[in-house]
Amino acid sequence: MEHEHHHEGEVIIQASDLSVSRGGTIVLDNINLTIRQGDIVALVGPNGSGKTTLIMAILGLLQPTKGTVEILGHDSKKMKFDGKIGWVSQAAANLPKNIRITVRELVTLGVLSTNSLIPFRRKKKDTQKKVDEALRIVGLQDVADVDIYRLSGGQRQRAVIGRALASNPEILVFDEPLVGVDRASRNSLLKLLDELCHKENKTLLMVSHDLPAIRQSAHRVIYLDLVHDNDCCSGGIHYDGPTDQFPDLVGLAALRGIRNVHEGASPVVTSHGESSPVVIISGGLKEEE
Ligand SMILES: Nc1ncnc2c1ncn2[C@@H]1O[C@H](COP(=O)(O)OP(=O)(O)O)[C@@H](O)[C@H]1O
Ligand SMILES: [Mg+2]
Protein backbone atom coordinates (compact mmCIF):
# COMPACT_ATOMS: atom_id res chain seq x y z
CA MET A 1 0.00 0.00 0.00
CA GLU A 2 1.25 3.43 -0.86
CA HIS A 3 1.14 5.53 2.27
CA GLU A 4 -0.19 8.96 1.77
CA HIS A 5 2.45 10.70 3.83
CA HIS A 6 5.07 9.54 1.38
CA HIS A 7 3.61 11.80 -1.25
CA GLU A 8 5.77 14.53 -2.66
CA GLY A 9 3.81 17.61 -1.65
CA GLU A 10 5.50 20.83 -0.75
CA VAL A 11 7.31 20.74 2.61
CA ILE A 12 5.21 22.77 5.02
CA ILE A 13 6.89 22.04 8.35
CA GLN A 14 10.47 20.91 8.76
CA ALA A 15 11.95 20.29 12.19
CA SER A 16 15.64 19.44 12.15
CA ASP A 17 17.59 18.09 15.14
CA LEU A 18 15.13 19.88 17.36
CA SER A 19 15.69 19.73 21.11
CA VAL A 20 13.57 21.64 23.59
CA SER A 21 13.92 21.91 27.36
CA ARG A 22 11.29 22.98 29.83
CA GLY A 23 12.09 23.84 33.38
CA GLY A 24 15.64 22.56 32.91
CA THR A 25 14.57 19.13 31.63
CA ILE A 26 15.01 18.01 28.06
CA VAL A 27 11.48 17.29 26.87
CA LEU A 28 12.19 16.84 23.19
CA ASP A 29 15.47 15.32 22.15
CA ASN A 30 16.63 15.57 18.58
CA ILE A 31 13.34 15.56 16.73
CA ASN A 32 13.40 15.32 12.95
CA LEU A 33 10.08 15.77 11.28
CA THR A 34 8.82 16.62 7.82
CA ILE A 35 5.19 17.49 7.22
CA ARG A 36 4.01 18.05 3.68
CA GLN A 37 1.10 19.86 2.14
CA GLY A 38 -2.14 17.93 2.49
CA ASP A 39 -0.89 15.78 5.36
CA ILE A 40 -3.28 15.01 8.18
CA VAL A 41 -1.02 14.18 11.08
CA ALA A 42 -2.15 13.09 14.53
CA LEU A 43 0.28 13.75 17.34
CA VAL A 44 -0.30 11.34 20.21
CA GLY A 45 1.41 10.28 23.42
CA PRO A 46 0.90 10.17 27.18
CA ASN A 47 0.35 13.30 29.23
CA GLY A 48 3.60 15.15 29.65
CA SER A 49 5.25 13.52 26.65
CA GLY A 50 5.82 16.87 25.00
CA LYS A 51 3.03 17.19 22.44
CA THR A 52 2.19 20.76 23.36
CA THR A 53 5.89 21.55 23.66
CA LEU A 54 6.46 20.30 20.12
CA ILE A 55 3.55 22.36 18.80
CA MET A 56 4.82 25.50 20.55
CA ALA A 57 8.34 24.93 19.27
CA ILE A 58 7.02 24.42 15.74
CA LEU A 59 5.11 27.68 15.99
CA GLY A 60 8.23 29.46 17.18
CA LEU A 61 6.72 30.17 20.58
CA LEU A 62 9.37 28.22 22.48
CA GLN A 63 13.07 28.62 21.98
CA PRO A 64 14.76 25.32 21.11
CA THR A 65 18.00 24.43 22.86
CA LYS A 66 19.15 22.95 19.59
CA GLY A 67 17.99 22.65 16.03
CA THR A 68 15.58 24.56 13.84
CA VAL A 69 12.00 24.62 12.65
CA GLU A 70 11.09 25.94 9.26
CA ILE A 71 7.55 26.67 8.20
CA LEU A 72 7.12 27.15 4.46
CA GLY A 73 10.89 27.51 4.24
CA HIS A 74 11.21 30.23 6.86
CA ASP A 75 12.60 30.06 10.37
CA SER A 76 9.43 29.80 12.44
CA LYS A 77 10.81 32.03 15.21
CA LYS A 78 11.12 34.92 12.78
CA MET A 79 7.90 34.26 10.97
CA LYS A 80 4.83 36.44 11.18
CA PHE A 81 1.74 34.30 11.43
CA ASP A 82 -0.15 36.51 8.99
CA GLY A 83 -3.12 34.22 8.77
CA LYS A 84 -1.18 31.36 7.22
CA ILE A 85 -1.45 29.29 10.36
CA GLY A 86 -4.65 28.56 12.21
CA TRP A 87 -3.72 27.58 15.73
CA VAL A 88 -6.04 26.28 18.40
CA SER A 89 -4.09 26.14 21.64
CA GLN A 90 -4.78 23.56 24.30
CA ALA A 91 -7.83 24.54 26.37
CA ALA A 92 -8.47 27.46 24.03
CA ALA A 93 -12.17 27.08 24.71
CA ASN A 94 -11.66 27.87 28.42
CA LEU A 95 -12.40 31.49 27.77
CA PRO A 96 -12.59 33.83 30.75
CA LYS A 97 -16.18 34.17 31.95
CA ASN A 98 -15.89 37.86 32.70
CA ILE A 99 -15.39 38.75 29.06
CA ARG A 100 -18.66 39.13 27.22
CA ILE A 101 -18.14 38.43 23.57
CA THR A 102 -20.39 36.95 20.92
CA VAL A 103 -19.50 34.03 18.69
CA ARG A 104 -19.25 36.36 15.72
CA GLU A 105 -16.92 38.71 17.58
CA LEU A 106 -14.69 35.85 18.65
CA VAL A 107 -14.44 34.49 15.11
CA THR A 108 -13.76 38.00 13.80
CA LEU A 109 -10.64 38.15 15.97
CA GLY A 110 -9.22 35.47 13.71
CA VAL A 111 -9.25 37.78 10.69
CA LEU A 112 -8.59 41.22 12.10
CA SER A 113 -4.85 40.98 12.53
CA THR A 114 -4.31 39.55 9.08
CA ASN A 115 -5.68 42.23 6.76
CA SER A 116 -4.59 45.51 8.30
CA LEU A 117 -3.19 46.72 4.97
CA ILE A 118 -6.46 46.46 3.12
CA PRO A 119 -8.45 49.75 2.93
CA PHE A 120 -11.12 49.98 5.59
CA ARG A 121 -14.25 49.67 3.43
CA ARG A 122 -13.08 46.60 1.56
CA LYS A 123 -11.64 45.25 4.75
CA LYS A 124 -14.99 45.39 6.52
CA LYS A 125 -16.86 43.57 3.75
CA ASP A 126 -14.05 41.11 3.32
CA THR A 127 -13.91 40.43 7.03
CA GLN A 128 -17.66 39.86 7.19
CA LYS A 129 -17.49 37.39 4.34
CA LYS A 130 -14.67 35.44 5.94
CA VAL A 131 -16.39 35.40 9.31
CA ASP A 132 -19.68 34.22 7.81
CA GLU A 133 -17.85 31.48 5.96
CA ALA A 134 -16.04 30.33 9.11
CA LEU A 135 -19.32 30.36 11.08
CA ARG A 136 -20.93 28.26 8.37
CA ILE A 137 -18.05 25.79 8.32
CA VAL A 138 -18.22 25.17 12.06
CA GLY A 139 -22.04 25.22 11.99
CA LEU A 140 -22.56 28.12 14.37
CA GLN A 141 -24.52 30.55 12.15
CA ASP A 142 -27.60 30.15 14.33
CA VAL A 143 -25.78 31.22 17.47
CA ALA A 144 -23.55 33.84 15.85
CA ASP A 145 -24.89 36.61 18.05
CA VAL A 146 -25.03 34.65 21.27
CA ASP A 147 -22.52 35.30 24.04
CA ILE A 148 -19.94 32.55 24.06
CA TYR A 149 -20.39 31.94 27.78
CA ARG A 150 -23.91 30.67 27.02
CA LEU A 151 -22.72 28.02 24.58
CA SER A 152 -22.17 24.37 25.36
CA GLY A 153 -18.58 23.17 25.67
CA GLY A 154 -18.72 21.62 22.21
CA GLN A 155 -20.09 24.79 20.65
CA ARG A 156 -17.42 26.87 22.35
CA GLN A 157 -14.76 24.54 21.02
CA ARG A 158 -16.21 24.94 17.54
CA ALA A 159 -16.18 28.71 18.00
CA VAL A 160 -12.43 28.73 18.71
CA ILE A 161 -11.90 26.44 15.73
CA GLY A 162 -13.95 28.92 13.70
CA ARG A 163 -11.61 31.68 14.85
CA ALA A 164 -8.63 29.61 13.69
CA LEU A 165 -10.26 28.97 10.31
CA ALA A 166 -11.45 32.51 9.71
CA SER A 167 -8.27 33.72 8.02
CA ASN A 168 -8.42 30.75 5.65
CA PRO A 169 -5.02 29.48 6.81
CA GLU A 170 -2.93 26.98 4.88
CA ILE A 171 -1.73 25.20 8.00
CA LEU A 172 -3.93 24.07 10.85
CA VAL A 173 -2.26 23.32 14.16
CA PHE A 174 -4.77 22.06 16.69
CA ASP A 175 -3.88 21.06 20.24
CA GLU A 176 -6.60 18.76 21.56
CA PRO A 177 -9.40 20.39 19.59
CA LEU A 178 -11.92 17.64 20.32
CA VAL A 179 -11.90 17.82 24.12
CA GLY A 180 -15.42 18.55 25.33
CA VAL A 181 -16.93 18.19 21.89
CA ASP A 182 -19.94 15.88 21.78
CA ARG A 183 -19.97 12.98 19.36
CA ALA A 184 -22.16 14.53 16.68
CA SER A 185 -20.13 17.73 16.59
CA ARG A 186 -16.93 15.75 16.66
CA ASN A 187 -17.94 13.80 13.60
CA SER A 188 -18.95 16.89 11.66
CA LEU A 189 -15.70 18.57 12.65
CA LEU A 190 -13.60 15.62 11.56
CA LYS A 191 -15.44 15.53 8.28
CA LEU A 192 -14.79 19.21 7.85
CA LEU A 193 -11.06 18.89 8.64
CA ASP A 194 -10.84 15.98 6.24
CA GLU A 195 -12.46 18.05 3.49
CA LEU A 196 -10.19 21.01 4.14
CA CYS A 197 -7.15 18.80 3.70
CA HIS A 198 -8.38 16.79 0.74
CA LYS A 199 -10.22 19.42 -1.26
CA GLU A 200 -8.28 22.55 -0.35
CA ASN A 201 -4.94 20.90 0.28
CA LYS A 202 -4.57 22.31 3.74
CA THR A 203 -2.20 20.68 6.17
CA LEU A 204 -3.33 19.54 9.59
CA LEU A 205 -1.26 18.74 12.65
CA MET A 206 -3.57 17.72 15.47
CA VAL A 207 -2.90 16.59 19.02
CA SER A 208 -5.59 14.21 20.18
CA HIS A 209 -6.21 11.43 22.69
CA ASP A 210 -9.16 10.27 20.72
CA LEU A 211 -8.06 7.14 18.86
CA PRO A 212 -11.33 6.56 16.97
CA ALA A 213 -11.17 10.15 15.80
CA ILE A 214 -7.58 9.68 14.73
CA ARG A 215 -8.37 6.48 12.88
CA GLN A 216 -11.22 8.25 11.14
CA SER A 217 -9.21 11.20 9.98
CA ALA A 218 -5.42 11.03 10.14
CA HIS A 219 -3.15 9.52 7.48
CA ARG A 220 -0.22 9.49 9.78
CA VAL A 221 0.39 9.12 13.49
CA ILE A 222 3.35 10.48 15.38
CA TYR A 223 3.77 8.97 18.84
CA LEU A 224 5.81 10.96 21.33
CA ASP A 225 7.13 9.47 24.51
CA LEU A 226 9.80 9.88 27.13
CA VAL A 227 12.58 7.36 27.31
CA HIS A 228 13.99 6.71 30.74
CA ASP A 229 17.63 5.79 30.63
CA ASN A 230 19.75 4.97 33.65
CA ASP A 231 19.74 8.38 35.22
CA CYS A 232 18.03 10.67 32.79
CA CYS A 233 15.14 10.80 30.47
CA SER A 234 14.47 12.44 27.21
CA GLY A 235 11.58 12.53 24.85
CA GLY A 236 11.25 11.81 21.23
CA ILE A 237 9.29 10.23 18.42
CA HIS A 238 8.70 6.52 18.85
CA TYR A 239 6.32 5.91 16.04
CA ASP A 240 5.92 7.85 12.85
CA GLY A 241 3.94 6.02 10.27
CA PRO A 242 0.60 5.20 8.74
CA THR A 243 -2.45 5.32 10.98
CA ASP A 244 -3.53 1.81 10.04
CA GLN A 245 -0.29 0.36 11.40
CA PHE A 246 -0.44 2.19 14.70
CA PRO A 247 -1.17 -0.38 17.45
CA ASP A 248 -4.75 -0.48 18.72
CA LEU A 249 -5.66 -0.71 22.38
CA VAL A 250 -5.23 -4.49 22.32
CA GLY A 251 -1.71 -3.93 21.08
CA LEU A 252 -1.14 -1.24 23.65
CA ALA A 253 -2.48 -3.45 26.44
CA ALA A 254 -0.25 -6.32 25.38
CA LEU A 255 2.67 -4.00 25.74
CA ARG A 256 1.50 -2.46 29.00
CA GLY A 257 4.39 -1.80 31.29
CA ILE A 258 6.88 -2.71 28.64
CA ARG A 259 8.85 0.39 27.91
CA ASN A 260 11.09 -0.69 25.13
CA VAL A 261 10.39 -3.35 22.56
CA HIS A 262 13.54 -3.35 20.55
CA GLU A 263 13.36 -7.09 20.10
CA GLY A 264 10.39 -8.78 18.55
CA ALA A 265 8.64 -5.59 17.57
CA SER A 266 7.82 -5.30 13.95
CA PRO A 267 9.82 -2.44 12.57
CA VAL A 268 7.84 0.49 11.31
CA VAL A 269 8.77 2.77 8.52
CA THR A 270 9.30 6.33 9.56
CA SER A 271 8.57 9.24 7.31
CA HIS A 272 12.21 9.18 6.33
CA GLY A 273 11.94 5.64 5.10
CA GLU A 274 14.11 4.20 7.87
CA SER A 275 13.11 1.39 10.15
CA SER A 276 12.66 2.14 13.80
CA PRO A 277 11.47 0.17 16.78
CA VAL A 278 8.08 0.83 18.29
CA VAL A 279 8.23 1.94 21.89
CA ILE A 280 5.00 2.03 23.80
CA ILE A 281 4.12 3.26 27.24
CA SER A 282 0.59 2.60 28.40
CA GLY A 283 -1.84 5.38 29.09
CA GLY A 284 -2.68 8.64 27.51
CA LEU A 285 -4.90 7.32 24.79
CA LYS A 286 -8.51 6.38 24.83
CA GLU A 287 -10.38 4.04 22.59
CA GLU A 288 -14.15 4.11 22.64
CA GLU A 289 -17.09 2.85 20.60
N1 LIG B 1 5.84 25.92 31.59
C2 LIG B 1 6.52 24.81 31.89
N3 LIG B 1 7.59 24.84 32.72
C4 LIG B 1 8.27 23.73 33.02
N5 LIG B 1 7.95 22.53 32.55
C6 LIG B 1 6.90 22.41 31.76
C7 LIG B 1 6.12 23.54 31.38
N8 LIG B 1 5.13 23.13 30.55
C9 LIG B 1 5.29 21.82 30.43
N10 LIG B 1 6.35 21.38 31.14
C11 LIG B 1 6.82 20.00 31.22
O12 LIG B 1 7.19 19.59 29.93
C13 LIG B 1 6.80 18.26 29.70
C14 LIG B 1 5.95 18.19 28.45
O15 LIG B 1 4.75 18.89 28.65
P16 LIG B 1 3.71 19.09 27.50
O17 LIG B 1 4.39 19.47 26.25
O18 LIG B 1 2.65 20.02 28.01
O19 LIG B 1 3.12 17.61 27.35
P20 LIG B 1 1.77 17.09 26.65
O21 LIG B 1 1.19 18.20 25.85
O22 LIG B 1 2.21 15.92 25.84
O23 LIG B 1 0.87 16.66 27.77
C24 LIG B 1 6.08 17.80 30.97
O25 LIG B 1 6.98 17.07 31.74
C26 LIG B 1 5.70 19.07 31.66
O27 LIG B 1 5.69 18.90 33.04
MG1 LIG C 1 -0.60 19.16 25.88
d(CA 94, CA 60): 23
Q: 176 and 245 share a domain? A: yes
Are 7 and 121 within one domain? Answer: no
Q: How far is CA 187 from CA 34, 181, 184, in A?
A: 28, 9, 5
Query: What is d(CA 178, CA 207) in angstroms, rounded to the nearest whole number?
Result: 9
Tell me the best of 21, 28, 47, 52 to mutate to test the pocket of ligand 1, counting ligand atoms within 8 Å of each CB and taking the most: 52
Examine residue 89 and state whether it is found in any structural domain, yes or no: no
Ligand nearest to the CA of 174: 2
Q: Within a domain: residue 207?
A: yes
The model's pTM: 0.82
- The DSSP symbol for 160 reads H
Residues 132 and 201 in one domain: no
* 211 and 71 inside one domain: yes
For 101-146, what is each residue's pLDDT tens digit? 999 999 999 987 655 555 555 678 888 999 999 999 888 999 999 9
- Residue located nearest, by CA, to atom 11 of ligand 1: 22
Please report the pLDDT score of residue 276 as a whole number: 42
- Number of domains into which the chain is organized: 2
Same domain assignment for residues 131 and 240: no
Residues 47 and 113 in one domain: no
**DSSP per-residue letters across 232-271:** -EEEEEEEEEEGGGS--HHHHHHTTT----TTTPPPEE-T
Show the ligand 1 pocket: residues with CB < 6 angstroms. 22-23, 27, 45, 47-53
Are 250 and 174 within one domain?
yes
Residues 280 and 218 in one domain: yes
Assess whether 31 and 121 both reside in one domain: no
- Domain of 112 in residue numbering reads as 95-168
Is 221 within a domain? Answer: yes
Q: What is the pLDDT of residues 206-215, one digit of tens each?
A: 998 888 888 8
Tell whether 108 and 75 lie within a shared domain: no
The enclosing domain of 278 has a CATH number of: 3.40.50.300
Are 202 and 241 part of one and the same domain? Answer: yes
Atom of ligand 1 nearest to the CA of 90: 21
For residues 167-193, b (16+ Cβ closer than 10 Å) or e, as one string? bbbbbbbbbbbbbbbeeebbeebbebb
Closest atom, ligand 1, to C-alpha of 47: 23
Quick check: is 202 in a domain? yes
Q: Is the pLDDT of residue 62 over 90?
A: yes
Residues 163 and 289 in one domain: no
Q: Is the pLDDT of residue 197 over 80?
A: yes
**d(C-alpha 42, C-alpha 31), whole Å:** 16
Atom of ligand 1 at shortest range from CA of 23: 4
- Residue 278, in any domain of the structure: yes
Q: What ligand is nearest to the CA atom of residue 50?
A: 1
Those residues whose C-beta lies under 8 Å from the C-beta of residue 251, and which sit 6 or more positions away, are 280
pLDDT digit string (tens) for 231-259?
Answer: 556 678 888 999 988 877 655 545 434 44
In a domain, 222, yes or no: yes
Contact between 156 and 143 under an 8 Å Cβ cutoff? The reply is no
| Residue of minimum CA distance from atom 17 in ligand 1 | 50
